[in-house]
């Protein structure tokens, strides 16, 4: 495949290609491993919008800490078999790059992952997934799941977006007022959100919400708008200090500088697709001042 001039390839490890995008509208890096958008910085921004851990592990079969991991076909731990990989199989496999195009305002890339004997050993269904990425003044990532088998299947998923923030204690997240959420810190408990979300401790919540959110970052002086489609769950996560210390691929103090706001379908929002059917999950991140 001939790549546009604004896309080059680097290999931080042998056989581990990363596509480097240098376009007038934005810069970005996308790994073939996991079809993983690692970095995105729209033109005019001094700080990246996506957070990538400086200790991220770039090895085959290992998830990348930061950017937008693709969690599929389950979110979190496997519901019945704890020996299976956390957050499913998609983020730990090499995808195929189907297409890459550069337009005046953005770069578009399309990746594919299909079922194989290896995937069926972990999840016994036939499927085809496409991940579409549009990189420009805004970032759009869509995950299409197709059922290529002869029986219906049910799956969970998330576009596990890590956002760079200036200081987590100064962040406000709006758009989830008056919704219910599953609080997974400590004993799993259903709670009700009243007002904006602020942060002074570990937060790991699954909100029952189909709408978008707004992240107000007073430290960096910017607002991030996170919209989504095909999603019944919004996950909001920050590990705080104790969990950061337990994560080997994350610096102890890194929790100050990122926040995860994820378009997902988890728990009761899991998706069932009939044979020949498909489902699309999409997230879009924009900065009102630059769009």
Model pLDDT for residues 212-253, shown as the tens digit of each residue: 999 999 999 999 999 999 999 999 999 999 999 999 999 999
pLDDT in the model for residue 34: 98
Q: What are phi and psi of 170, to 5 degrees?
A: -105, 10
- Report yes or no: 64 and 34 within 8 Å, Cβ to Cβ: yes
What six digits make up the tokens of 221?
């002086």
Model pLDDT for residues 155-202, shown as the tens digit of each residue: 999 999 999 999 999 999 999 999 999 999 999 999 999 999 999 999
Average pLDDT in the 152-157 region?
98
The mean pLDDT value of the chain amounts to: 97
pLDDT in the model for residue 77: 93
Model pLDDT for residues 30-81, shown as the tens digit of each residue: 999 999 999 999 999 999 999 999 999 999 999 999 999 999 999 999 989 9
Q: Name the pLDDT band for 1 (thresholds 50, 70, 90).
A: confident
* Kind plus residue range of the DSSP H or E element containing 119: helix 117-122
Which domains does the chain possess?
Answer: 7-166+238-286 (2.70.98.10)
- Report yes or no: 53 and 38 within 8 Å, Cβ to Cβ: no
Q: Which of 39, 146, 157, 262 is catalytic?
A: 262
Q: Which of 36, 87, 160, 256 is catalytic?
A: 160
Model pLDDT for residues 82-97, shown as the tens digit of each residue: 999 999 999 999 999 9
Please report where in the chains the tokens 């009761």 appear, as a residue.
Answer: 268
Does residue 104 have a pLDDT over 70? yes
What six digits make up the tokens of 256?
């100050």
Exposure of 195 in the CB half-sphere (CA atoms within 13 A): 3
The C-alpha angle with vertex 190 and arms to 186 and 227, in degrees rounded to 5, equals: 100
The CB density around residue 268, as the number of other CB atoms within 10 Å, is 10
Average pLDDT in the 255-280 region?
98
pLDDT in the model for residue 289: 64
Q: Catalytic: 202?
A: no
Query: How far is it, in rounded angstroms, from Cα 174 to Cα 37?
Result: 25
Does residue 129 have a pLDDT over 90? yes
Q: Catalytic: 262?
A: yes
């Amino acid at each position: 495949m001939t790549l546009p001039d604004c896309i080059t390839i680097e290999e931080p490890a042998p056989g581990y290609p990363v596509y480097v995008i240098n376009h007038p509208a934005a810069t970005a890096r996308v790994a073939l491993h996991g079809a993983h958008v690692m970095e995105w910085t729209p033109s005019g921004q001094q700080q990246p919008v996506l957070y990538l851990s400086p200790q991220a592990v770039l090895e085959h079969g290992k998830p990348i800490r930061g950017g937008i991991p693709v969690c599929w076909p389950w979110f979190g731990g496997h519901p019945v078999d704890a020996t299976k990989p956390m957050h499913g199989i998609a983020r730990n496999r090499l995808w195929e790059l189907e297409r890459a195009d550069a337009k005046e305002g953005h770069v578009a890339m399309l990746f594919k992952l299909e079922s194989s004997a290896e995937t069926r050993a972990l999840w016994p269904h036939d499927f085809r997934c496409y991940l579409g990425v549009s990189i420009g003044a805004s970032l759009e990532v869509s995950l299409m799941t197709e059922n290529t088998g002869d029986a219906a299947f049910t799956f969970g998923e998330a576009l596990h977006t890590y956002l760079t923030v200036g200081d987590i204690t100064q962040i406000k997240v709006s758009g989830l007022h008056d919704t219910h959420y599953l609080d997974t810190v400590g004993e799993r408990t259903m709670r009700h959100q009243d007002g904006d979300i602020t942060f002074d401790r570990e937060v790991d919540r699954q909100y029952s919400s189909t709408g978008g959110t707004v992240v107000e970052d007073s430290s960096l002086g910017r607002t991030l708008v996170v919209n989504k489609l095909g999603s019944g769950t919004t996950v909001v996560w920050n590990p705080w200090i104790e969990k950061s210390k337990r994560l080997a691929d994350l610096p102890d103090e890194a929790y100050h500088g990122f926040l995860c706001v994820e378009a997902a379908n988890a728990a009761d929002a899991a998706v069932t697709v009939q044979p020949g059917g498909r489902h699309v999950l999409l997230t879009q991140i924009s900065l009102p001042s630059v769009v």
